[in-house]
Structure 1
Amino acid sequence: MKQLLMAIAACTLFACNNKEKDNPAKPGVAAITDEEQYARNVNKGFVADTVKKAVPRLATAVIDSNEITIHYFSPGVRGRMIWGGLVPYEQVWVTGAHSATKISFTKAVKFGSMEIPAGSYAVFTIPGKDSWTFILNNNYRQHLADDYAEREDVLRIKIKPEQTTDTVQRLTYEIKAHGERTASIVVSWEKIKLVIPFVTQKNTASIKQMEPVAGALLQGIKPDTKKDPVCYMPVTAGITDTFSYKKKLYGFCSAECKRLFINDPGHYLADLRE
């Protein structure tokens, strides 16, 4: 019986391993590393936190075709006093460990009224008892906050910290979507949580770059004889130039239509031609 149980366990493990290999991460979803899984298991209480060092982690999300990634090191509480102890109040903190936390956007985003161009930035914070300062800085290639310079800040906003009931043992970044273009960066550690809302901006620069190509392709389209291949909407007589097509496209079609048109207008509009 013991040998039979061992054989069943071995077969199950083999099948699970093969299943993981046959199902790679979806686009916009990072593959889970051993370090990431360890931190998650610690936070869920599945295992004790026995690793002293900060472990590398990655948070990813796609918000309206904006690919957002956060590379960071995740320290553990491990019985220590965090706020006002390991992390002093009123001082610039790397909000991670080792290297500066790096956040990247493939499209422009807006925090409140402040628009931040697509690119990569360092994340810093200034913890306070009642209010924190959330910072994005141009210099993400630095150790901790050793080379931090306020003149390189591109964003500074005040955030009110939230208290959590449960202790988050390992520092965790999340990107949580709320709507088609609205989301929040959520930073949690010990019993403090920061929620930083932002909005993904429309990729107008890419649209403008595509206008000459789309305009040329639209020549020769016969109104009322074809339908939009993705939205299945009639191409009416009013749609005879790039502007009108974009107006229809961006006013009534899905996010998938927009993505396809921006990325490859030639392929997207090919089915509209006679």
Structure 2
Amino acid sequence: MQKTALLVSLLLLSVMDAHAQSFTFRGLDKSPMDMAYYPDDYAHDRKFAPAKIGTDKAMIRITYSRPAKNGRDVFQKLAPYGKVWRVGANEAPEIKFYQDVTIGGKKIKAGIYALLAIPNETEWTIIISSDVDQWGAYSYNQALDVARVTVPVQKSDSIVENFSIQFAKKDAKTAVMYMGWDTATVALPISM
């Protein structure tokens, strides 16, 4: 009985080993995934500098992919003006509110949403959608919008090579989500 069990185990191990050796991982994604928190750098500080965050709890988290400019015309090819764009690359970013928030006077319940935008040269319309788990904005459905807010574009002399999102504290009850790419930066105030 023990010999049979041993033989079966060895056979299974050799089959599993052969299968593992034949598996090939697909290549790395050209747009690496990133995550931003409010309070800024919350997850890092929670682990390595807990005194820095004190009793603060995470309030907002966004997971997104960071496309690179790579010499391309960002707002003509990658995020065309006047069209709905997933804010980043690949899947539409997910923004998680750990508590109810207000954006542009619109109350949004705690939960996970998709973050989209309609970029234009002087302003962006930021869209919070209940349609999560979508690739890009190809299946965008305006009926699933939870909020739409228009924010002005600030132009910069310096270029942001990789699309980036970062949070900053405005006051005790307001965070600002900054998004920047190429020479455009937008700021979205979020009240807790």
Aligned 8 A contact 1:66 1:107 in 2:
no
Please report the RMSD computed on the Cα atoms of aligned residues, expressed in angstroms. 1.7
Give the 3-state SS of the residue equivalent to 2:88 in structure 1.
Answer: coil
Matching residue of 2:73 = 81
Amino acid at match of 1:118: A
Aligned with 1:126 (options 95, 100, 118): 118
The alignment partner of 2:77 has SS state of: coil
**Contact 2:91 2:134 (C-alpha < 8 Å) held by counterparts:** yes
Q: Which residue of 1 aligns with 2:97?
A: 105
**From 163, 176, 180, the counterpart of 1:184:** 176
One-letter amino acid of the structure 2 residue matched with residue 55 of structure 1: P
- 1:164 alignment counterpart: 156
Correspondence for 1:153 among 122, 135, 145: 145
Q: What's the counterpart of residue 36 of structure 2?
A: 59
- Mean alpha-carbon deviation: is it higher for 155-164 or for 60-69? 60-69
Secondary structure (helix, strand or coil) at the match of 2:39 reads strand
Find the counterpart in structure 1 of residue 49 from structure 2: none
How many residues end up aligned between the 2 structures? 150
Per-residue displacement from partner, 1:122-154 (whole Å, max 9, x unpaired)? 000001122211100001211111221000000
Distance in 1 (alpha carbons) for counterparts of 2:68 and 2:39: 28
Say whether residues 1:90 and 2:82 are aligned partners: yes
Greater helix fraction, Structure 1 or Structure 2: 1
**Cα contact 1:52–1:76 (8 A) shared by 2:** no
Cα separation, 2, equivalents of 1:133 and 1:67:
23
Q: Which runs of 4+ in 1 moved over 4 A?
A: none
The amino acid that maps onto 1:56 is M
Identity %: 28
Please state whether the residue corresponding to 1:133 is helix, strand or coil. Answer: strand
Structure 1 gaps, min length 5: 1-50, 201-274
Pairing 1:247-262 to 2, within 5 Å after superposition: none
Which of 166-175 and 54-63 deviates more? 54-63
The amino acid of 1:161's aligned partner reads: V
> What are the ranges of 5 or more consecutive residues in structure 2 without an aligned counterpart?
1-27, 41-55
1:71 corresponding residue in structure 2? 63
Q: How far apart, CA to CA, are the structure 1 residues paired with 2:148 and 2:167?
A: 19
Give the greater-gyration-radius structure (CA). 1
Deviation of 1:85 after TM superposition, in Å, equals: 2.6
Q: Distance in 2 between matches of 1:196 and 1:178?
A: 11
Q: Can you list the C-alpha shifts for 1:81-120, whole angstroms capped at 9, x where unaligned?
A: 1112322111000011111111001101111321111001
- Rounded to whole Å, the distance in 2 between the matches of 1:99 and 1:112 is 25
Shift of 1:66: 4.9
Contact 1:136 1:154 in 2 (8 A): yes
Query: Is the Cα contact below 8 Å between 2:38 and 2:175 reproduced in 1?
Result: no
Which fold has the larger relative contact order, with Cα–Cα distance below 8 Å and residues 6 or more apart in sequence? Answer: 2
2-structure distance, mates of 1:112, 1:85? 29
Return the alpha-carbon distance in structure 1 between the equivalents of residues 95 and 116 of structure 2: 11
Q: How far is 1:52 from its partner?
A: 7.8
SS where residue 69 of structure 2 aligns? coil
Structure 1 counterpart of 2:32, one-letter code:
V
SS at match of 1:185: strand
Structure (1/2) with the larger strand percentage: 2
